């Protein structure tokens, strides 16, 4: 089992270009697994972890409701935002500058074959990271992602998650609001969940800006421990 995970930081990159890149990495892993099965081979499957920031974009999961995006194409254009219907789970999500988006593209057979556990460990990675900033983050029953003040009238989401998995290979992932412009969340019903707020790490800490690279380092530290993985860092690339 290959526990090495190749890390790439793509910087600020268009959503569709990144999605296509994810699909290529995903397909390469799946193709290797198919070949192993057909030819009784023992080729090693790769694991990847992509960090990226996207220009303003709204994405709708395969089970999502388009009505949860509250504006039309023209208003999106005036906001400099795009919209895509995609093949992950979940409903509608916003991505934009100041948000850390992580896409683990893993062969879970290198780790464990349990999608529920996979999602819970991604949440735990974020929860442990936020704890280092003095925030008590939690899961909210029946709602994937990471929240603050769960069970109170002030519950607010700080990290959204949505994944796709096939043949135990994952793609898509999580979006952690660090220095996000929260005004863009007003144009949708986040994840289709009404009457609950969204927040960002800088807002919670009362800071104008939080160091994104510092947050990424903390996320990776916890990822390595939780997944018993070894991060192999590549140079910053434009995929």
Query: Is 61 marked as binding a ligand?
Result: no
Has residue 114 been placed in a domain? yes
Rounded Cα distance between 173 and 151, Å, is 25
pLDDT tens digits, 150-187:
999 999 999 999 899 999 999 999 999 999 999 999 88
Query: Is 67 marked as binding a ligand?
Result: no
Has residue 62 been placed in a domain? yes
pLDDT tens digits, 16-36:
999 999 999 999 999 999 999
Question: Which parts of 40-113 fold into alpha helices (H)?
Answer: 73-78
pTM for this model (two decimals): 0.93
Closest to 103 (Cα-Cα) out of 47, 61, 65, 181 = 47
pLDDT tens digits, 181-236:
999 998 887 655 566 789 999 999 999 999 999 999 999 999 999 999 999 988 65
Query: Is 21 marked as binding a ligand?
Result: no
Query: Is 149 marked as binding a ligand?
Result: no
Active site residues: 191
Has residue 123 been placed in a domain? yes
Has residue 239 been placed in a domain? no
* Residue linked to tokens 């990144």: 18
Tell me how far the alpha carbon of residue 121 is from its chain's centroid. 13
213-222 contacts: CB < 8 A, separation 24 or more?
215/100, 215/129, 215/176, 215/178, 216/9, 216/51, 216/100, 218/128, 218/129, 218/132, 219/100, 219/102, 219/125, 219/126, 219/129, 219/176, 220/7, 220/49, 222/124, 222/125, 222/128, 222/129
DSSP 12-25: E--HHHHHHHHHHH
Query: Is 186 marked as binding a ligand?
Result: no
pLDDT tens digits, 77-118:
999 999 998 888 778 889 999 999 999 999 999 999 999 999
* CATH assignment at residue 150: 3.30.930.10
Q: Range of 106's domain?
A: 4-233
Has residue 238 been placed in a domain? no
Q: Is residue 114 helix, strand or coil?
A: coil
Has residue 64 been placed in a domain? yes
Q: Is residue 57 helix, strand or coil?
A: strand
Provide the number of structural domains found in the chain: 1
Rounded Cα distance between 221 and 209, Å, is 22
């Amino acid at each position: 089992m290959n526990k090495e995970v190749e890390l790439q930081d793509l910087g600020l990159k268009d959503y569709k270009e990144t999605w296509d890149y994810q699909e290529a990495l995903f397909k390469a892993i799946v193709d290797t697994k198919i070949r192993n099965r057909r030819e009784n081979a023992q080729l090693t499957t790769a694991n990847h972890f992509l960090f990226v920031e996207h220009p303003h974009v709204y994405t709708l999961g395969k089970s999502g409701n388009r009505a949860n995006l509250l504006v039309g194409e023209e208003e999106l254009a005036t906001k400099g935002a795009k919209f895509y219907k995609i093949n992950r789970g979940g409903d509608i999500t916003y991505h934009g500058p100041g948000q850390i988006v992580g896409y683990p593209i893993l062969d879970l057979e290198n780790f464990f074959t349990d999608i529920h556990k996979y999602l819970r460990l991604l949440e735990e990675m974020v929860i442990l990271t936020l704890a280092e900033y003095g925030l008590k983050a939690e899961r909210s029953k029946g709602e994937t992602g990471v929240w603050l003040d769960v069970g109170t009238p002030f519950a607010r989401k700080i990290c959204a998650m949505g994944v796709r998995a096939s043949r135990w290979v994952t793609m898509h992932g999580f979006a952690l609001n660090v220095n996000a412009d929260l005004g863009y969340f007003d144009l949708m019903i986040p994840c289709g969940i009404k009457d609950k707020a969204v927040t960002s790490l800088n807002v919670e800490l009362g800071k104008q800006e939080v160091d994104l690279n510092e947050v990424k380092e903390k996320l990776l530290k916890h990822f390595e421990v939780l997944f018993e993985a070894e991060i192999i860092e590549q140079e910053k690339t434009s995929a």
